[in-house]
Structure 1
Amino acid sequence: MPFKFLRRLTRSILLVPTILLALLFIASCIASELNPKSWSFVGFLGLLLPYLILLLVFAFIFWLLAKPSFSFIPLLALMIGWRQISVVFSYHVFNSFHTGEKAANSIRIVSWNVGSMYGLSDNKNNKKHDRKEIANTILGLQPDIICLQEFSNSETQGKEADNIALFSKDYPHHFYSKDLNKRNGYYQSGSIIFSKFPMIDSAKINYPKGISESFIYADILFNKDTLRVFNVHLQSYKFSQQDYEDIAAIKQQSDSTIKASISIMNKMQLAYARRGIQADEIRTYSDSTKFKSIICGDFNDVPGSYAYFKIRGNRQDAFLKKSWGVGRTYYSIAPTLRIDYILSDKNFSVNQFDIVDEDLSDHLMLVSDVQLH
């Protein structure tokens, strides 16, 4: 009798967190429909999605064994959130990328936030070497079109600062958005599109006043078609090195992190709000094009976020089509951050995709073959 009572009590105690977990997951799913420019706090919920999904799966298995009638709670939550689950995980385990295999009428695209093109080292000599290694890594994949974010270049500081020259021999066509001046104007930083094929038009679209980062496109002549390739870079959190150290301290549950947590959350809320505005701009502009189009870039936001769903619309996510796992593309903070994307419209088929980890930037490189119908 006491044993049965304890078992019932334990089940009752565990039922409460199961219900709360299900409600939190459903709230996270609803959050992806709310524009953070008005509801900036909802952006935080998107970061929790992979963990909430896994916890719900474990809860479902537990209740299926312990009390089957209670297993409907996590199961119902998972069913409600299937749209979010479908973009967090990809299941194509046996797909692989073959550099030498490229179908007729297909285009190979690389997208990468190269973090200024000078690697992760603080050593000046290593930085000079890393810029060439970054370029060689990209060129080794034999892409037709290259979209880079946080690309730095100087036209006045000699060969070691002319990063465009690393690509210009193989890619005679490029469009560079010089978004920021660095080092007293001697260096510029922004997004760039390189192409083997002719560009017949290109432009930078300005976000609303006060919002930085890049939104550019190039109209590229491919066979008898004109393709519009967008290269986008959405608002980052603007974390300083001290912020990253504070995040590490928060993970260790240090007593001195309350003030740091408030500062970090304020920066994140501002970034979520601005990305909501940017996502609306990108969607409006990309929907208005008459050309077949592809969107590449660093969204600085995860699948399941408002920014991701708004920009993607009914486009194909190359990772979801041809890869597996959670597809981490950013090194810091958490192991589940997929914030870089290649999205093609329905005029293309995704043939291949890979995430390339060469430890040369804080982001990982994306490469995909898309075939024009």
Structure 2
Amino acid sequence: MRLTSFSAKLMRWITLSSSGLLFVFSIYITLIDSQVVFLDLLVLFTPYLVGLNFILGFGYALIRSKLLFIPLMALVLWFLVLGPFLVFTTGDENKSPEDISILSYNVMEFIGNYRDRPSDIQDKILDFVSAQDADILCFQEFASTRVSREKLSSYPYNFVYSPRGDKRFAPLSIFSRYPIISSGALDFENTLNNTIYVDVLVNADTLRIYNVHLQSMRIRPGSIKRENPINLYNRLGNTIERQKKQAGQILEHSRDVAHPVVFCGDFNNTQYSKVYRILKEDKEDSFLESGNGLGNTLLFKFLPFRIDYVLVDEELEISGHQNFDIRLSDHTPIKATFRFQNP
């Protein structure tokens, strides 16, 4: 009897804690402007917290317990306020010649991922990219080499930007089959992370593309164990604060653009972060609209992190999204397809 009583109390504590955290996350991310580093880090694990609440709710439903309503209310709030992380869509079966495709890929300077660094990694990445036949390519952590220039020669227009003036060191680059009529960079302070942009001419329409690479977390498999916990906590808090500042800078810059805008690239944070919500604002997320599964893009052991995105203005209609399980970098590429809305 004592064990049963203890187990019941433990389950109630787990239920109240997990559901309470989900409530707190929903309120913190959407309504509170101030930064709480502890919560900013915990929200990275929102999918697991949602899963726990589903399991608890299902268990309470089986035994017909009134406690069912606690995780149920937390899940309803999560879904309505923060949105799902697991999606199943059919996409748009009616492909149009007016579709515009964009592929975003953090290629890690063509050196491979943390487990496998073959000598022909650059050829493999660029051959994969060429096979996707996207209209626009946005690379993060790019390296401009003879091989990359040759294999991307089918893209007549490009903006290969280097803050150091050395084209071989080009962390952000955009290649396009559409004419680039203007370009520029935001040049974030005191960092190699950056955002560049181009205006491309698509028939009679103009489209602004921002290639985004927000401040890196610099978390690598095994590195967390080696770093002092207090230093790690402070460093990640500072990184998230810088990401929010950079995201705000991008958003403010885009407000003066008179034509439709696309944000794509490596945001270095999840869809449950304030960073993502700053950039998403009223834009559509190609994965949530036309993707399937978890959509994770960062290879980090067993944790599914989706930190690469394509966000488009409402004037654009998303017609497709693809995630690729190709492990040639620490990120996996994404491809989105969209078109201008009919007037």
Structure-2-length-normalised TM-score: 0.90
Q: Which residue of 1 aligns with 2:143?
A: 152
What stretches of structure 2 of length at least 5 have no aligned partner?
A: none
Q: Give, in whole Å, the separation in 2 of the partners of 1:130 and 1:49.
A: 34
- In the alignment, is the contact (CA less than 8 A) between 2:91 and 2:319 conserved in 1? no
Q: Aligned pair in 2 of structure 1 residues 326, 245: CA closer, same or farther (>3 Å)?
A: same
- Structure 1 stretches (4+) deviating beyond 4 angstroms? 5-9, 121-124
Aligned length in residues? 340
What runs of 5+ residues in structure 1 fail to find an aligned partner? 251-256
Q: What is the CA–CA distance in structure 1 between the aligned matches of 2:75 and 2:199, rounded to whole Å?
A: 41
Residues 1:301 and 2:269 aligned together: yes
Query: Following the alignment from structure 2 to structure 1, what is the Cα–Cα distance between the partners of residues 64 and 136?
Result: 55
Write the letter of the residue equivalent to 2:58: I
- How far off its partner does 1:130 sit? 1.8
Equivalent pair of 1:91/1:324 in contact (CA under 8 Å): yes
Q: 1:85 to 1:123 in 2, by over 3 A?
A: closer
Q: Structure 1 CA distance, aligned partners of 2:115 and 2:24?
A: 42
8 Å Cα contact 2:114/2:330 also seen in 1: no
Distance in 2 separating the partners of 1:43 and 1:306: 8
Output the CA distance in 2 between the equivalents of 1:315 and 1:333.
30
Equivalent in 190, 193, 198 of residue 179 of structure 2: 198
- Checking the alignment, whether the CA contact within 8 Å between 2:26 and 2:82 is kept in structure 1 is no
User: SS at the partner of 1:354?
Assistant: strand
What's the TM-score once normalised by structure 1's chain length?
A: 0.83
Deviation per residue, 1:265-309 (Å, 9 max, x gap): 333222111111111112222233111111110000001100111
Q: Distance in 1 between matches of 2:281 and 2:102?
A: 20
AA matched with 2:306 = R
Residue of structure 2 in register with 1:89 after alignment: 86
Q: For residue 363 of structure 1, give the secondary structure of its aligned residue in structure 2.
A: coil
Residues 106, 323 of structure 1: CA spacing in aligned structure 2 closer, same or farther, 3 A cutoff?
A: same
Q: CA contact under 8 A between 1:216 and 1:231: conserved in structure 2?
A: yes
Which residue of 2 is the match for residue 41 of structure 1? 38
Residues 70 and 41 of structure 1: CA distance in aligned 2, closer, same or farther (over 3 Å): closer
1:364 aligns with 332
Q: What SS class does the counterpart of residue 175 from structure 1 fall into? A: strand
| 1:141 aligned partner | 132
Question: Retained in 1: the 8 A contact 2:136–2:174?
Answer: yes
3-state SS of 1:357 partner? coil
Higher-Rg member (1/2): 1
1:53 and 1:85 in contact (8 A); partners too? no
Q: Secondary structure at the match of 2:83?
A: helix
Distance 1:30 1:211, change over 3 A: farther
Structure 1 residues 83 and 304, CA, compared in 2 at 3 Å: closer, same or farther? farther
In 2, Cα distance between the equivalents of 1:326 and 1:30?
Answer: 23
Letter in 2 for 1:354: Q
SS in 1 for 2:151: helix
Q: Distance in 2 between matches of 1:13 and 1:360?
A: 44
- Is the aligned partner of 1:173 residue 2:157? yes
Partner secondary structure for residue 326 of structure 2: coil
> Contact between 1:18 and 1:73, CA under 8 Å: does it hold in 2?
yes
**Residue 67 to residue 16, structure 1, CA distance change in 2 (3 Å):** farther
Deviation of 1:329 (Å) = 0.2
The aligned amino acid for 1:74 is: P
Tell me, what secondary structure is at the counterpart of 1:179?
coil
AA matched with 1:244: P
Match 1:331 to one of 284, 299, 309: 299
What secondary structure is seen at the aligned counterpart in 2 of 1:304? coil
Distance 2:300 2:5 in 1: 43
Aligned to 1:254: none
Give the counterpart of 1:347 among 312, 315, 325.
315
The answer to whether residue 221 in structure 2 is matched with residue 244 in structure 1 is yes
- CA displacement, residues 304-361 of structure 1 (integer Å, 9 cap, x when unaligned): 1001111011111111111222211010254210000011111121111111122211
Corresponding residue number in structure 1 for 2:169:
188
Residues 270 and 276, structure 2, Cα contact 8 Å, conserved in 1: yes
- 1:109 counterpart SS class: strand
Distance 1:83 1:180 in 2: 45
Secondary structure, in 3 states, of the residue corresponding to 1:218? strand
Change (3 A) 1:138 1:82: same
